[in-house]
Structure 1
Amino acid sequence: MTTKDVKNEKLPTVLITGGSKGIGFELAKQFAMHGYNLVLAARSEADLKQAAGQLENEYGCGVSTYPFDLTADDSSTELHRQVIDEGIQVDVLVNNAGMGDVGPFAKSDLNRQLNMLRLNIVTLTSLTRLFLPAMIERGNGRVLNVASLAAYFAGGSNWASYVASKHYVLAFTRGMARELAGTGVKVTALCPGATPTSFAGQAGANAMPIYRWMPRLTPAKVALAGYRATMAGRTTSVPGLLNKVFALLGELPPRSIAQWVFEILSRTPSATATETRRAL
């Protein structure tokens, strides 16, 4: 569904998954205010309509919206097909859509785990593969993959598979950045720390110390850092000074110390209560 036709505009176009809320919506604002037309893909058609209306009114940009459940099989292929059939050239791809899940893995909902891995890993990889060749052929383009500060750590209890999925995003981005050297296409991983969006509540992470103790940047500040890093062609961006320190510590040996710190920050109330009972 197209809210305002962008295919005949003489402006660059950015495609943003999960672009109707949170960091994705703030990224849409950044690109819009810098002269981009927008292609937004997200699950909720109502949220997309609301976001598109606001962006069009505030920035006068063209906005195309595509309501897709990106965890569904072949959703990436279908989104790519529809965008190409509309005659839209995607100059920047932002793989922002993602989800999390918190709690002991053995007690987790398997379908939610699989949907998370499909969205965080498979959809991101598929969309990059589908839109990248045209960028390489033109000799110009940008891909922004939204990872997480958690990607720098060796893992922690209660969200092992989520952290692993963000490890993949960071490693994939670094590998692609080297592979694409000299092509004119740059790939960036945005690795925000705790950010006040609906993500933490949906993932069940609000009670974790990392969300209660750590300073939190606004989605707008995270998006600004991501936009600047993307345009500058930097491989990674970790917004916030303290987050930068944690990212550095996460990669320094011995990584077991960083993993221990991360595990403390990732404890859930139930896990802490269990440990207290054991200590008593």
Structure 2
Amino acid sequence: MTTKYTMLITGASAGLGAALAREYASRGWALVLTARREDRLLALAEELKAAHGTACTVIAADLFSETAVPDMMAALDGQQIDGVINNAGYGHPGTYLSSDWDDHRRFDHLMTVVPAELTRALLPAMVERGFGRIMQVASLAGHMPGSKGHTLYAAVKAYLIKFSESLNAEMQGTGVNVSALCPGFVLTEFHDVNGTREGINSLPGFMVMDADVCAKLAADALEENKAVFISGRVNRMLARLNRWMPWLGRKIMNSGASSYRNQD
């Protein structure tokens, strides 16, 4: 397949990252897939090539490394990147004092420093060419009150939302679209990793979105240059509820946190 644009996706080996890779492959984009698990990336690349003829570059990258972004740029070796989806992330379980500072430092580096640094590395060339697409995968949690067990997670997601809003405003008229994707509960293996699968399975079906559906809606929102996109009507309602009645949002978050997230 002859492609015009190339999208770089971090955390592409599984979950929403893989779903976004499938969505952009179906739209004719070439892909650069990055994550730590090279075998998973190679398998996905083969799947996308068979299904869509997608040209995929695989970069096994440790985004916890302090030199992650320079290392990735070196691996790209001048390859043109027309879009980036900063999707890599995880939920760190437990309360703030239940983990050492180094665990929190690594979490913060992956979730805030890497997205901002990678965006800064790729953005100038997009502006120069007059075309670019940048998606930060945030969360509905960034719109809700902080609660026990979400000490840094909600904070970093709120950071990505504000970062995207500001960058979207700065990029007006340049041809570069910027969007923060704010999913609620999306059915992926993310919940197996952070120990919340049981909580997700107990939720009513209307509160959980399929990853492929979320990916399509997110790609559409980025094309429409929506600075912030909350996927799902229920999630948008919850975000509005918090703006209108923050005391109620805080009560809901704190009452439900213990059943959803491990807080030992």
**What is the TM-score of this pair, normalised by structure 2?**
0.93
> 1:268: Cα distance to partner?
3.7
Whether 2:28 is the aligned partner of 1:28: answer no
Match of 2:219 among 209, 222, 227: 227
Distance between the aligned counterparts of 1:265 and 1:154, measured in 2? 12
- Runs (4 or more) in structure 1 with deviation over 6 Å come to 269-272
> 1:271: Cα distance to partner?
8.3
Distance between the aligned counterparts of 1:134 and 1:251, measured in 2? 37
> 1:257: Cα distance to partner?
2.2
Report the counterpart of residue 168 of structure 2 in structure 1: 177
Q: How does 1:5-20 map to 2 (within 5 A)?
A: 10-20=3-13
Cα distance 1:133–1:216, how it changes in 2: closer, same or farther (>3 A)? same
Q: Contact between 1:191 and 1:236, CA under 8 Å: does it hold in 2? A: yes
Distance between the aligned counterparts of 1:271 and 1:24, measured in 2? 24
Q: Contact between 2:38 and 2:60, CA under 8 Å: does it hold in 1? A: yes
Distance between the aligned counterparts of 1:269 and 1:91, measured in 2? 38
Identity of counterpart residues, as a percentage? 31
Match of 1:78 among 46, 71, 75: 71
Cα distance 1:211–1:151, how it changes in 2: closer, same or farther (>3 A)? farther
CA RMSD of aligned residues (A): 2.1
Distance between the aligned counterparts of 2:90 and 2:224, measured in 1? 27
Q: How does 1:251-262 map to 2 (within 5 A)?
A: 251-252=243-244, 254-262=245-253
Report the counterpart of residue 186 of structure 2 in structure 1: 195
Distance between the aligned counterparts of 1:180 and 1:97, measured in 2? 23
Q: Contact between 1:150 and 1:166, CA under 8 Å: does it hold in 2? A: yes
Report the counterpart of residue 53 of structure 2 in structure 1: 60
Distance between the aligned counterparts of 1:241 and 1:20, measured in 2? 28
Cα offsets for 1:32-86 (capped at 9, x unmatched): 1111001000011111111111111111010000000111111111102221x1x
Amino acid in structure 2 at the alignment position of 1:212: S
Q: How does 1:95-134 map to 2 (within 5 A)?
A: 95-134=86-125
Match of 2:202 among 201, 204, 212: 212
Cα offsets for 1:129-178 (capped at 9, x unmatched): 10011111111111011001101012111111111110101111111111
Cα offsets for 1:180-237 (capped at 9, x unmatched): 12221111011111112121221223344x6632521011111111111111111121
Cα distance 1:271–1:52, how it changes in 2: closer, same or farther (>3 A)? closer
**What is the TM-score of this pair, normalised by structure 1?**
0.88
Distance between the aligned counterparts of 1:223 and 1:144, measured in 2? 11
Distance between the aligned counterparts of 2:232 and 2:260, measured in 1? 27
Amino acid in structure 1 at the alignment position of 2:256: L
Report the counterpart of residue 146 of structure 1 in structure 2: 137
Runs of at least 5 residues in structure 1 that lack an aligned partner in the other structure: 1-5, 275-280
Distance between the aligned counterparts of 1:261 and 1:244, measured in 2? 15
